[in-house]
Chain A
Amino acid sequence: MNPFLEVINLRKEFFLHILNDKKIDALEDINFSMNHGEIIGLTGKSGSGKSSLMKCLYGTYLINEGSVMYDSSQYGKIDLAKATEHEILRIRKKELTYCSQFLQVIPRVPALEIVAEQLIADGVDEGDALEKARSFLNRLGLPEELWDAYPSTFSGGEQQRINVAQAIISEPRFLLIDEPTASLDVRTKDVVIQMILDLKKSGTSVILITHDAYTLANLADRELKLTNGRIEEAEVATA
């Protein structure tokens, strides 16, 4: 079977002109592949390159060497390292969602609208989209009186819930999610894990970054551990 994603000899360095041409090696020798519907957990100490790898996959970081062969629903097999900007934008629009650790939204847009936004952009009826957003926020335990408030005023945990809800509501084909369960209480953590498992059932492939052993054990099919920008070991975790 065609792998869903195949990363071959990926290398990423940062060249900082403004720091006297300082060179920082971020990732080296990254090789792994991933099957359709798989959930991979990226682990490693902070600074080990987890987020950099994720950003390389999403196109936020330019890749210096190597290729990222992705089995796109729109383009077929495509090397994300060489794809044009418009190809990446289209893939992001229809298939690929990235959920960072921190919520970045337009100020002064209510929480509910932020969560529903992607669905509406996908052409879902506005009423249905808002309804689905309500049920998501409800499941994630965000107090109802916050739904019409602006998330920039929220606490870390509340923002995190908006962030997760926003990323998974439109059921992306490929989800990159950074620390989805950090700063959440145990009950909500379980809800988030369940939601991502539901996504997996509907066909979503997921790469997630987590520090949390509980989340990793309950969610990931497999763990990829990064140390100093290299993959240390690839082992199969028991779900």
Chain B
Amino acid sequence: MVTDNSDNWLLRVRGLTKIYGDPISNTIRYTGPKYGTNQCPETDAIVACAEIDFDLFHGEVLGVVGESGSGKSTLVQLLYFDQESTGGDVRFRGFENGDVNLLTVSNQKKRYIRNHLMGMVYQNPRDGLNFKFSAGGNIAEKLLMAGEFHVGRIRDRSSSLLERTEVPVPRMDNAPGSFSGGMQQRVQISKAIANNPPLLFLDEVTTGLDVSVQAKVLDLIRGLQRQLGISMIVVSHDLSVIRMLTDRTMVLKNGRIVEAGLTDQILQDPQHEYTQLLVSSLL
């Protein structure tokens, strides 16, 4: 069970759906894991994700696993407003106490929510960082958006964030293009947490990094969670990342949740056929 009657949620998602192309009334019915496809048989519309229901609790880390094309990245991009949802209802306690469906608020308010109340770390640092600006400038962007117009204070805050994420502070004024992949990822994390958001999205953050660098980034994320109590949604195809970081996990296939539960339960007692296949493929 992914949802919960308890009222302690931070983010409550119901019926979140994203369809590319022109859907017809049967599009959702004839796609999904049962049919093994995202594509509507009649109109070629693609159902990236559909009917996603879940609750994220305060301080909780929720994992999202699935193969590429399962809709897991789309899911967080919809929640971070990188893409426009086709339908659904998303409540967020950080914004007007969760009384408003985030998907229907104005662009300006969405931008406010993105910059003040949420953070996102993308798989590709180029999506999260502006490579034309320095590492410090990237962090400054977030702080400026939050109304901090004092260069001295911006630089103090940026240095302490970079220190926190173990990026050498003297490199603050260098362009992220000159950094290693792991360091770029840590700068991205600094930027994402610059305004102390209560909610952080992590989309395949360790994919493509060396194993040793991966471990350091994972440790950093866990430390942030422990010390700052940030709630997180962690998207990964890597089950060991999910095992290390998350309390609960949702398994996505063809844009639907096929199974959800406690992470150790999903990994050790998977119920759905697809999850069993996924877990049995674990190295």
Contact = CB atoms under 8 A, between A and B. Distances in A.
- Contact flag (A, B; Cβ within 8 A): yes
B268 A60 contact: yes
B216 A108 contact: yes
Interface string B211-233: 01001101100100010000000
Contacts of B2: 85
A18 interface: yes
B276 A60 contact: no
A89 B247 contact: yes
Nearest to A61: B269
A187 interface: no
Nearest to A109: B219
Contacts of B264: 58-60
B133 interface: no
Contacts of B226: 120-121
Given A14-B269, A62-B271, A84 B4 contact: yes
Most buried by A among B212, B215, B226: B215
Contacts, number: 64
Contacts of B174: none
Given A85-B261, A89-B262, A106-B215, A18 B273 contact: yes
A84 B6 CA distance: 9
B244 interface: yes
Given A62-B265, A86-B8, A17 B273 contact: yes
Interface in A203-235: none
A60 B243 CA distance: 13
Given A14-B269, A60-B268, A106-B215, A85 B244 contact: no
A58 B222 CA distance: 23
B58 to A, nearest CB: 10
A84 B265 contact: no
A107 B241 CA distance: 11
B27 to A, nearest CB: 27
Contacts of B265: 59-62
B273 A85 contact: no
A1 interface: no
B30 interface: no
Contact of A17 (B4, B247, B269, B276): B276
B208 to A, nearest CB: 18
B277 interface: yes
Contacts of B216: 108
10 contacts: A17-B273, A18-B280, A59-B262, A59-B265, A62-B261, A106-B222, A107-B219, A108-B212, A108-B216, A120-B226
B151 interface: no
A108 to B, nearest CB: 5
Interface residues of A, number: 23
B263 to A, nearest CB: 10
A106 B262 contact: no
Contact of B276 (A18, A62, A107, A109): A18
Contacts of A61: 265, 268-269
Interface of B: 1-2, 4-6, 8, 57, 60, 212, 215-216, 218-219, 222, 226, 243-244, 247-248, 261-262, 264-265, 268-269, 271-273, 276-277, 280
B215 A108 contact: yes
A96 B268 CA distance: 19
Contact of B262 (A14, A15, A88): A88
A55 B269 contact: yes
A5 to B, nearest CB: 19
A196 B1 CA distance: 35
Contacts of A16: 276
A118 B191 CA distance: 29
Interface string A3-18: 0000000000011111
B6 A55 contact: no
Nearest to A117: B226
B93 to A, nearest CB: 15
Contacts of B268: 55, 60-61
A60 B219 contact: no
Given A55-B269, A62-B265, A107-B215, A85 B276 contact: no
B9 to A, nearest CB: 9
A58 B263 CA distance: 12
Given A16-B276, A61-B268, 4 more contacts: A59-B262, A88-B262, A107-B219, A109-B219
B266 to A, nearest CB: 10
Nearest to B272: A17
A21 to B, nearest CB: 9
Contacts of A104: 243
